[in-house]
């Protein structure tokens, strides 16, 4: 218990020391080197396979050679193969979560190896709904990240603060602790398989959205934390997405910010017209 307490104290102290420092201005942001990444998370939707295929087909039709970035959908397990076939390579298909085990007596579990055998190479980890509704700990999320990476897959690691933590000014500390715990054991080379999604929990499914300025500030902090954990090259190459009630009305302002490399979209990804507009966001000058 004393060892665990010492480790936790060290992590908190490290996060706190990072917060009190002024924002790092030693590094330019290389947005041009980071291709935008627009992703959708369907959660427990839609209801039927037919609806899933129709929705995925509509979204794929919105992707063209002129679309500014990569596009991915994270969808329920039963629809993976049929949706993968429907999008015909225009959209990357991933799973919404994994079980950090290769096999065994884990009823309801789905391993990375199972997904990989189906051609699925991406999955989410650490989404706030999995953290709160399913009680997934930082240690479990770390195990998921490592399992995906070690099996040659890619992970979108979700982090973010609650409304209470936001109002108490703990955003930077929460992000630092989650990044350091969830990426423990991930090497600089393996970070090429990691995308970060910052999702303020108070903005998910509420219709509230952090202003582009708030989101940019947090994304910059996250990039500085990654630079502190690894180095500036790893931080500059890592794509950091914003999630939290992203809409056609908010996407252009968000994507204009230098440290926002894409979006993780919930509700709007269930509407092919709305999500198509987000995929084809318009570049605006700051």
The CATH number covering residue 79 comes to 3.20.20.70
pTM above 0.75, yes or no: yes
Range of the domain at 244: 51-279
For residue 286, the model assigns a pLDDT of 61
Q: Please report whether residue 190 resides in a domain.
A: yes
The low-confidence residues of the chain, meaning pLDDT below 70, are 1-32, 285-286
- In this structure, are residues 233 and 33 in contact, taking their beta carbons and an 8 Å threshold? no
For residue 6, the model assigns a pLDDT of 46
Q: Please report whether residue 40 resides in a domain.
A: no
Q: Please report whether residue 106 resides in a domain.
A: yes
Q: Please report whether residue 32 resides in a domain.
A: no
- 93/55 Cα distance (integer angstroms): 13
For residue 17, the model assigns a pLDDT of 41
Dihedral, CA of residue 241, residue 243, residue 249 and residue 250, to nearest 10: -60
What are the residue numbers of the active site? 127, 199
Which own/partner pairs from 91-95 qualify as long-range (CB within 8 Å, at least 24 positions apart)? Answer: 91/56, 91/59, 91/60, 91/63, 92/121, 92/122, 93/120, 93/122, 94/120, 94/121, 94/122, 94/123, 94/124, 94/154, 94/156, 95/120, 95/122, 95/123, 95/124
For residue 19, the model assigns a pLDDT of 40
For residue 277, the model assigns a pLDDT of 98
For residue 86, the model assigns a pLDDT of 98
Q: Please report whether residue 1 resides in a domain.
A: no
Look at residue 211 and give its three-state secondary structure: coil
Look at residue 39 and give its three-state secondary structure: strand
Q: Please report whether residue 22 resides in a domain.
A: no
For residue 285, the model assigns a pLDDT of 67
Count of domains in the chain?
1
For residue 206, the model assigns a pLDDT of 74
For residue 229, the model assigns a pLDDT of 98
> Which tokens sit at 262?
């894409």
């Amino acid at each position: 218990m004393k060892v665990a307490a010492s480790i936790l104290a060290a992590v908190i102290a490290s996060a706190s020391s990072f917060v009190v420092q002024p924002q790092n201005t030693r590094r330019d942001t290389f947005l041009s080197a980071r291709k935008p990444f627009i992703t959708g998370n369907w959660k427990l939707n839609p209801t039927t396979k037919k609806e899933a295929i129709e929705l995925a087909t509509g979204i794929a039709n919105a992707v063209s050679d002129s679309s500014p970035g990569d596009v991915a959908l994270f969808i329920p397990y039963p629809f993976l193969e049929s949706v993968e076939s429907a999008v015909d390579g225009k959209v990357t298909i991933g799973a919404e979560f994994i079980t950090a085990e290769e096999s065994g007596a884990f009823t309801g579990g789905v391993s990375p190896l199972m997904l990989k055998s189906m051609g699925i190479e991406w999955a989410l980890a650490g989404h706030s709904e999995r953290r709160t509704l399913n009680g997934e700990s930082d240690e479990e999320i770390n195990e998921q990240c490592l399992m995906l990476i070690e099996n040659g897959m890619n992970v979108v690691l979700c982090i973010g603060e609650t409304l209470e933590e936001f109002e108490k000014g703990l955003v930077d500390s929460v992000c630092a602790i989650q990044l350091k715990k969830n990426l423990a054991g991930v090497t600089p080379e393996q970070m090429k398989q990691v995308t970060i999604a910052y999702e303020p929990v108070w903005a998910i499914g509420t219709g509230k959205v952090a202003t582009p300025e708030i989101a940019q500030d947090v994304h910059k902090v996250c990039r500085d934390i990654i630079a502190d954990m690894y180095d500036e090259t790893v931080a500059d190459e890592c794509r950091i997405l914003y999630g939290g009630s992203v809409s056609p009305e908010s996407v252009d302002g968000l994507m204009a910010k230098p440290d926002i490399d894409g979006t993780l979209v919930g509700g709007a990804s269930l509407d092919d017209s709305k999500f198509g507009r987000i995929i084809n966001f318009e570049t605006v000058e700051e």
